[in-house]
Chains A and B, each alone.
Chain A
Amino acid sequence: MGKIKVKVLRHDPEGKVKDKFDEFEVSVEEKSTVLEALMKIYDTRDSSLAFEHGCRAQNCGLCVVNLNGHPRYACMARITADAEITPLKHLPLIRDLVFDRRPFFSYLAKFRPYVVREKDPDEEPETLLQPPEHSKLMSCRECFACLSSCPTYDCQNDSFGGPLGFVKLAQLHYDRRDCLDRVSQAREMGILNCMDCSACTCISGIPLNKIVIRPFLALLGEGSDD
């Protein structure tokens, strides 16, 4: 393929420079990925460029960026000429493409985001049935792309936890060991905002609307029939 130009949005945490696009020329092959391009820029041109990555195999979810406006795992998305690489939306940025995950998890902590049991099992390993929704939801990459795709989520607004918040509650809702009322928690987290919306998407294939948003709304008496 040869040399192409890509644009990367730069964000300076000290705020001395306003956010701006930097353009880089990188040499790529036919199947080169976005992550490969970012690493090439880092290795050969500018090692102040901040981005996260982990496994290069869409397992860890760390390398997610917006590619031409759509969230993608950088390790698997092909790079194309004139690609625009930006960070996920609606999240607090640290530098360039890296956002801060901690505020979300501090917010989540209020909902006791772990299995709360009525009593310990009599024997271990216990007899336990796992609904298919639970194993699907536990494969969430926690990549935050769903928050970027949500038109309502804003990291500064505590009244709405966003699709990732609802996923975290749904993991526990479908976990038969957990005894807390996760449905009420979903209301508290603002799921009623989702009644007329199904914009959020999961890039690792979890059907958010089908197994998270609609079931919670239905249990709150706000099903699609109302």
Chain B
Amino acid sequence: MNQGGTADTLTTVEINSLEKYPVVDPSQAPSTSYYAPSHSAPISWSTHGGNNYPRENGIVSSSSYHQVQQVEIASRTVQDGLNATPAASTLTSGAANPPQDYSSYSTYQNTDPYGYGNTGYATYYNGYQQQASQPYQPPVGAYQNSGAPYQPLSSFQNTGSYAGSASYPSTYYNPADYQTSGGYQSGVYSNHSNYWQEGQYTTYSNHQYPNYPQDSSTLYSSTTSAASSQYAQHYKQWADYYNQTQTEVSCAPGTENVSVSGASSLSCPIPGVTGGYPASNSQAPAPYTPSWRPDSSSSELPMAQPGTANGSVHDGYWMPGPAAVQNQNLNPMQQHVQTPLGTSSTRESFQNQQQSSGPQGHNSTYTASHQVPQSYPSSLQTVSQTAPQLDSRRVSNKLQIPTNPRIASNLGLGLSKVDKDISGSNAASKPAYISVSLTKPNEKVPSEDAAAESILKPGMFPKSLCGYVERALARCKGDAQMAASQAVMKEIITKATADGSLHTKDWDTEPLFALPNADTASREDVLFSTPTSSLPKSRRSPSRRSKSRWEPVSEEKVADKPVAAAAEPVKYGFWNKQFTGGKVENKVVHWSNTKFSLSDQKSSNKNSLRPSKRQRLVDGPSAADNGDASSESDKEQTLTAYYSAAVALADSPEERKRRESRSKRFDKGHGNRQNNHFKQKSAGAGNLYTRRASALVLSKNFVDSGTQAVEDIDWDALVVKGTSQEIEKRYLRLTSAPDPATVRPEETLEKALLMVQNSEKNYLYKCDQLKSIRQDLTVQHIRNELTVKVYETHARLAIEVGDLPEYNQCQSQLKTLYAEGIRGCHLEFASYNLLCIILHSNKNRDLLCAMSRLSAEARKDDAVKHALAVRAAVTSGNYVLFFRLYKTAPNLNTLLMDLYVEKMRYTAVKCLTRSHRPTVPVAYISQVLGFTSTFPTTEASDGKERDGVEECAEWLKAHGASLTEDNSGEMLLDTKLSMSNLFMPEPEDAVSHGDANLAVDDFWARNLESSIK
């Protein structure tokens, strides 16, 4: 229904009212579409697809787009102020999105469930999200859910109907706190979308539809699940991702527990959000959603905080300059959300494999959406659009990765793994981590703007109109006035659209309507005038994130993929009663069938390349600032001022206000946490919720600040006390607040360590187990002798198999642990450290540093003395000494030296051939270079010695030496002949990562084994 003609009309109403654009209408349509059966949904989707492109375009088209955004922002601010009364806010915002959103709001929620029911997807989503109330809706719901986070995206993508959808999400959000973001996106997008629709929506629509469902479903499912399940079940895993979305819900209630329950039961806020989103999200969502989501997330954040805080927070966010920035920042969050959903990961995997599994479906959808954008770009702002899309894709991929781990823990690790594997092209980006993705979107936006400006068709959204709106808003002082002005403008524009004078009217000369109120116009002006400036800021923060040292998810998970995919539904079912595993699977199948034809990876790749280049260009100056940005707000301000012309915004009152509100939020968040703790004591089940909620709140705060990377999160605030009694636990990188139910307390960890130490299994297994132990220790802030023991055990194991990277991690941890005065074998590890430096990194500075740190007591230790002697032997090239030390090495020093033996032998032989004439007996070489023991004492060792000589002869030959025999049959090295022929052969068992033990075969075998189990 919605999607079809009705959708258009409806959308027009909402959107139009806001912006008077045809596009606007679509937004309304989305809402209707939700209500409408799934069939109708497809239609809408197709339009959405068109819209999606438009979204990109919209973004791209900087001039019109920006303006719109600004307006939206303004409206958002208004909304913020109005938070208490979402409906009111919508009305006020009227001019832009707000009104639309709000109006749609109530209806939407209701409709959403229906929408879900219609589509097969619903199952998917249902399971995740809603849990109870809207199982049928799932498809729709899923869409919708995702929509909430995605709203912005949706609006972009779905220019036509989707624009409407976008607005929906916003409406949904509005109730919670999303309002502002929603308003934003929808308004801006809707404009664009309209244009697009006119041009190419119809064509695209078909393609997109399949995609949409998939995308949305994936997204939605994740989001929804987050909403419903998150609270109760997935706190940890989902927490981060969901935090944004969920936070809204939880926050809104004020108390986490209450809010959560309320949200789930009501399903209104969540469903509504999701419903609205689905449409928009389904297509473009992947790429776009991330960027837009930020907005929603930002709005969410406020929500998370107490109601009172919301208003202020919003204001801060929306502050002129900041608003744009915030959105960008938020994007990361949104992305996270998506990732949690698993859709992103699944998307990738799906695309690659197109398997039956739901995740695949998602992937395919993504590609589809991507493709679409590409095609669109050609007509409108193709270049810019595609670039953004690509970026978004990347982002989504990347994001997915991080999330996957979490998801994996709860849902199915397999999915995440799959993503990694499947991603192929994406794979590289995935490891990059969330931060990278975030930055990209932001960066893209600016580039898009530039492109958009050039490309913008006049017809789309008359520039003059934008100018008109801008002028009108510029006069406004204060949010209230803004809102009022917007309402007036909305009317004007609607009217113009209705009588067709929208494009014919000379907006430049059109007299401004009477100003409703009078306040200080400065804010809005700043906002409007400096949209671009704000963008740079946001970009910066992402770029910083990209530098984050988070590792890609461990590869081990890959094996689990299939399992995980299957397992997911089940798990969900566990989490949410409402979930139906069977349904989910069905849905997945649907998706895979429908979608996946559209794999335009190639094109997407190209696009992706472009954006990155652009980003660089654009970022150039600003990127440098990023580093400083986080350090201090003051500093940040100054820096920003430096780099961007827009700098002025940084110090603007709005900025300050924003900061204040941010800090307020923090306070509240802490307060909530404390409350939660109390509750935890009393209620067992409640505990998790509260905890998560508090974690969510915290994470929201982080999201707001935008500049903060995930690793900047104050994990101290998230210290948990584990309750899990599982001795065996797989390692999953934590991407959200830890769940006490899966964290093991110290006693259990001790048992786990013992188990690992006595385990017969291979290193990969042990490494995995130890990492999970380390993780549990870290999240519980356990830093004692057990911690040292775990790291020491792991370091020793790593040395034994030559896994230097892992060893280095342990060593650096041990260094700080020892420095804290925790006892352990610090001398042993001091010697390892020395050996490592001398034998592997061989940087003089490091060596000097390590040596000068050795205490007098340490120098007396045998192991340290040995290491120092080895160092001396290596620096002087004294191979005789080296191999004597090799034979007498204490602890695991031998194993570390092992890695240097080949090099030492080679230089020794080079030296021998150069200095000795005419020959050197092989027996002597064998003895000096450690092939045979230096002092054969017993007869029994004769045999061994002979073997050693044989081995030495083989080795020499392998390295190009010429051997001869003398009269008595003794083997000799002909030094003169050998001198110029020596070479270092390529090791036969060479593996790219340097350790045959870690070969891929083994890895796969292990994973298959475990997955079969």
A in complex with B: no
